Chain A
Amino acid sequence: MRRMAVVLGILLSVTAPMHGQELDVRAELMRRGAPPDFADRVAQLVTAAHREGLPHQDIANKALEGWAKRRHVPSERVLVALEGLMGAFRAGRDAARMAGISAPPMTVISSAGLALARGMTREQIADVIHAAPTPEQAAGGLAVASSLGAQGLEHAAAVRAVNDAFRDGSPPEHMLELPSVIANLIARGVPMSDVARSILEGRGVPGGPGVGIGPPGNGVGRPPGVPPGRGPPNLNDLPGKAKGQGKNSSA
């Protein structure tokens, strides 16, 4: 009997963090001054997402974002947005299943859902998933493709650029540099249509990944041209671009 109690104690100590994980968002919202009923409704949605196998941490993070923007976003709108995000994740899960991943991991569900929300089609999502060596790499590829699309690159070209990177066998993390490369090209005056045409005609991204980023091994994420203490810079600090150009002011 004592042994059973010990095992049950271990079980409770293990399950408590899981329960707490779902309640973390409620506690965090309360800590930030959110009313209990709002925090409760958010926690219910996060718990429902968790039970449904959806990326519940992303839902929780979106709730924190909504509460942070409360001066501009009413609470009801936050809850509607959370339900909309859950719907996007469900659609992403369906798209991943249609592409052949019977039990897509959260990372794929999240990336596919956001890609759909940003205008990619299910067929384009399937293209990326099929080209990726693993589901985890597919998640990264989908994130990059949707990010390129958000930059203004047409989705077909974005998917082609990602799939070409997969087929080239380059390290998957290098693919994350594609948005920086595109940003660099745009800053140098290359029209986005030319970038898309180059990709779709099989000539790849002009310059390829790494253009304007600098060689590796130059400190922790520190591109060349950046003195120690300043950290990795924006485009104006990169070689081939005169300082001060392309800076837009804001505020």
Chain B
Amino acid sequence: MKRHRPLSPDAHAHLDGIGRAPESADERRILDQLNRALSHYRQNLQVPGPEVDDRVMAVVAAPQSTHRSLWRWFFAPVDVRVRPATAFVAGVALVLVLALVVPRVLPRGPGGTDLSSQSVLVQFELRAPAAQSVSLAGSFNGWSPASIPLTRTPESDRWRVTIPLRPGEHEYLFVIDREEWVADPHAHAQVDDGFGQSNSVIMVGPRGVARL
């Protein structure tokens, strides 16, 4: 490979337009070649005219609509730097949110049946002439013995209450005077409660319930 000798400082100054021509004939020849090449380049260079500048500035200065800006922002690629550990934790959090929130949002009816139907009103009635108080406890109120009291009807010895229940199966009992647990003779069925006694059962349909 042929190596050229570096140009002298006089030759560099002449190229920069601030000195006279170098004394060396070789350097003058090289400078002539460079000047010819530069002239040729300038002749073929297509410099955009001032109208191009005007067009570019018009586009830049034009106010863009908010929708279009948002649209561009939304689809414009963005470089995101995330630690793998952060991404892992965020992924776990997302899975937990889906696992915990979604089942709570979807209504779950009693009896293990998922139903989206709205509640229907169901009336419970018991004849208990000697009772001082009667309440209703069941799978629909966490078996709270006092949260749903029945009201004695003025014309008889019957106790009644009407509550909203979701369609599905419900187990329940009446509680008389906060002590005695009594089955509903009008229930659809009586089932083993697992404790050696029985619970009353009704299956509430979307249009209510008919009992014995």
Interface on A for B, CB 8 Å cutoff? 3-4, 7-8, 10-11, 14-15, 17-18, 28, 55, 58, 61-62, 64-69, 71-73, 77-78, 81, 84-85, 106-111, 114, 117-118, 136, 139-140, 142-144, 147, 150-152, 173-174, 176-184, 186-187, 209-210, 212-214, 216, 218, 220-223, 230-235, 238, 246-251
Contact = CB atoms under 8 A, between A and B. Distances in A.
Given A150-B201, A231-B122, A210 B207 contact: yes
B131 interface: yes
B208 A179 contact: no
Contacts of A58: 112
Given A7-B90, A232-B120, A183 B185 contact: no
Given A61-B143, A147-B189, A251-B182, A180 B121 contact: no
A214 B186 CA distance: 19
Given A65-B143, A107-B108, A150 B185 contact: no
Instruction: Find the residue from B86, B117, B144, B207 having the highest chain A CB count within 10 A.
Output: B207
Given A4-B85, A177-B205, A183 B194 contact: no
9 contacts: A4-B86, A61-B143, A143-B168, A147-B188, A180-B211, A221-B207, A235-B210, A249-B185, A250-B183
Interface of B: 83, 85-86, 89-90, 92-93, 96-97, 100, 108, 111-115, 117-123, 125-131, 137, 139, 142-145, 162, 164, 167-169, 174, 176, 179, 181-186, 188-197, 201-212
A147 B203 contact: yes
Contacts of B205: 173-174, 176-177, 180, 209, 213
B194 A232 contact: no
B168 A72 contact: no
Nearest to A77: B195
B168 A176 contact: yes
B171 to A, nearest CB: 8
Contact of B89 (A7, A111, A147, A214): A7
Nearest to B209: A180
B93 A69 contact: no
Interface centre among A72, A136, A147, A235 (most CB of B within 10 A): A147
